[in-house]
Structure 1
């Protein structure tokens, strides 16, 4: 199935029903979509905040993971503080990694995973080396190989 056909199906489903705390902001084409997410529990780190996600799809989607980053906008002025979210919006999440991605995932499941990741966070901090990473990284998120702490060595 082509990326466009898959995304058309996903878009129709999202337009019919979105999980609580997830909003479709823009899906004018089948290359870039914008979604807003809110943390639904009473986590004091994110209470009342909405965060914008930018999804960039390659022609190999859903075989290849979309590039997903947090971005700022006039209505979503902050990147969430989280030990797996860099200050430039790049997300270190195995689901978005080449090895962790599966075509069974979709935009909705990615948004829900990120909601869950924020919900469970208790640390108001950035990943170690955030400033150096943001300053020196010139790679696209999909080209970064993160080391996940739960990997077996």
Structure 2
């Protein structure tokens, strides 16, 4: 019996990140190849995120890494969902890297976490995306199925 490609790839990623992760990224759990939890911190002095730790949930399909993982921030008593113009209050992230058009199989769990750290580091606006309340109230789609409109699509 052959091992599905996703499991083989995730096994290699898990082996690598279990031994070394960049500063501010911590593996919380990876009990299977369907869902992993990681914590991230912003390491610079951005006052919006200072001394905060955020929980990410990764969900992998059998088509990973051809298909992007579903990545959302998870709300916990000591882990808020960061306030950011590209992060909805339900934890859904509007980032082209996580969509079908922006994803590349060369990306991995570590690079996604680093991209999210960078996205938070560069933020200066303490606000949610426009239409956050309506989106959260009316959304019934899984994050990977949402077709976000990216402003750079106009170029």
- What TM-score comes out, normalization by structure 2 length? 0.96
1:104 corresponds to which residue?
Answer: 106
TM-superposition CA deviations, 1:31-75 (whole Å, max 9, x none): 000000000000000000000000000000000000000002243
Return the offset for 1:101.
Answer: 0.2
Is there any run of 5+ residues in structure 1 with no aligned partner, and where? Answer: none
Q: Which ranges in structure 2 are unaligned for 5 or more consecutive residues? A: none
CA RMSD of aligned residues (A): 0.9
1:10 aligned to which of 2, 9, 13: 13
Once superposed, which parts of structure 1, at least 4 consecutive aligned residues long, lie more than 4 Å away?
A: none
Q: Which residue of 2 aligns with 1:41?
A: 44
- How many aligned positions are there? 152
- 1:14-93 to 2 correspondence within 5 Å? 14-76=17-79, 78-93=80-95
Distance apart, 1:151 and its partner CA: 1.4
> 3-state SS of the aligned residue for 1:37?
strand
